[in-house]
Amino acid sequence: MKKQGSATIVKHTGSHYLLSELPVWDPFPAVIRGKLRLEGLKTTNPVAVGDRVEYAFDSDNATMATITRILPRTNGIIRKSTNLSRESHILAANLDRVFLIVTIILPETKLAFVDRFLLTCEAYGVRPVILVNKMDLYVEDCLKEQVERFGQIYREAGYETIEISTRNGSGIDRVREMCRDSVSLFSGASGVGKSSLLKALDPSLNPKIGDISVSHLQGRHTTTFYEMHPLSSGGFVIDTPGIRGFGLVDISAEELSTYFPEMMRVMDGCRFKPCTHTHEPHCAVKQALDEGRISPERYSSYLGMLEEETKYR
């Protein structure tokens, strides 16, 4: 009798996959049926780590399963590789939360990148938590002020922000506890310390740890494939390659402001609907900006995305 069942994709290496029937960790290899795709979604990868799938073995002695169906997703992280690209890429699916790792220096994580990532989390129903890593480096007053301002911007916007250091261990226990009994994605730009963080969370893991390119102050890519790991303390974590850009997918100019939580809290007060929150009179978002309830940095990011979506749609 042919063996079949449902499982979760725990590793993606291009054309081959590893599946495991979570919460049991017992990975086995699989390939995907040639024309299997998700309806209505054009992506470079039909399935991603975290996807739940149905599989079958063609014979009793087969060692390679075939993925026969992709089960409906609860959420996912999807991006375009470039702003002009029409193709999208699924980073991971069915997540309990996403940890976005940022650094103030070595390398500097740009706020525009952070805001694009957070907007994508909002759009696709994923809960984000921001981890400010390498806190042991921020000893100068100017750097401490940058950390304080960063935290203020995103906490006031409504996001949980945790300061951590993989070198001295600060904040690691809190992150480890949040990962328990859940599936968490760790992402960020190259060089922010994703692999070091995974190693700190569970010393038995052996992710590749890279260094920083001195000439460009950019991190070198260390993770090649998307992969899930079990934590000895409980839960599962997904490591991703470092991301240098984050293009938005299927989000119209009219929708953009609805994915900024601080704008959503006040936009019902706008006189005109829809309101772009740029030139219209009696705009509640612009009033909140003037009163300091919306940060100028976040509003600037919104304007940049708005201009881009209007230009290229």
pLDDT tens per residue, range 257-287: 999 999 999 999 999 999 999 999 999 999 9
Counting the structural domains of the chain, the total is 3
**111, part of any domain:** yes
Residue 241 has pLDDT above 80, yes or no: no
Tell which of 15, 43, 70 closes a domain. 70
pLDDT classification of 43: cutoffs 50, 70, 90 = low
pLDDT classification of 310: cutoffs 50, 70, 90 = low
pLDDT at residue 143, as a whole number: 96
Residue 35 has pLDDT above 80, yes or no: no
Across the range 223-229, mean pLDDT stands at 74
pLDDT in tens, 76-86: 988 775 554 56
What gap in Å lies between CA 81 and CA 94, rounded to an integer?
21
Residue 95 has pLDDT above 50, yes or no: yes
Residue 235 has pLDDT above 50, yes or no: yes
Regarding whether 299 and 215 lie in a shared domain, the answer is: no
pLDDT classification of 13: cutoffs 50, 70, 90 = confident
Residue 216 has pLDDT above 60, yes or no: no
Residue 56 has pLDDT above 60, yes or no: yes
Residue 8 has pLDDT above 80, yes or no: yes
Regarding whether 173 and 32 lie in a shared domain, the answer is: no
What gap in Å lies between CA 101 and CA 203, rounded to an integer?
19
pLDDT classification of 2: cutoffs 50, 70, 90 = low
**248, part of any domain:** no
Residue 136 has pLDDT above 50, yes or no: yes
pLDDT at residue 247, as a whole number: 67
pLDDT at residue 192, as a whole number: 93
Regarding whether 17 and 148 lie in a shared domain, the answer is: no
pLDDT at residue 44, as a whole number: 65
Where is pLDDT greater, at 91 or 158? Answer: 158
Regarding whether 169 and 99 lie in a shared domain, the answer is: yes
Q: What is the mean pLDDT of the chain?
A: 86
Instruction: Give pTM, 2 decimals.
Output: 0.86
pLDDT at residue 220, as a whole number: 40
Regarding whether 115 and 95 lie in a shared domain, the answer is: yes
Regarding whether 195 and 280 lie in a shared domain, the answer is: no
**10, part of any domain:** yes
What residue numbers bound the domain in which 145 lies?
76-239
Across the range 111-128, mean pLDDT stands at 94
Regarding whether 88 and 54 lie in a shared domain, the answer is: no
pLDDT at residue 42, as a whole number: 60
Instruction: Give the lowest-confidence range in 10-19, 155-164, 237-246.
Output: 237-246
Tell which of 19, 49, 70 closes a domain. 70
pLDDT at residue 86, as a whole number: 61
Instruction: Give the lowest-confidence range in 33-47, 88-102, 156-170.
Output: 33-47
pLDDT classification of 210: cutoffs 50, 70, 90 = very low
Regarding whether 212 and 86 lie in a shared domain, the answer is: yes
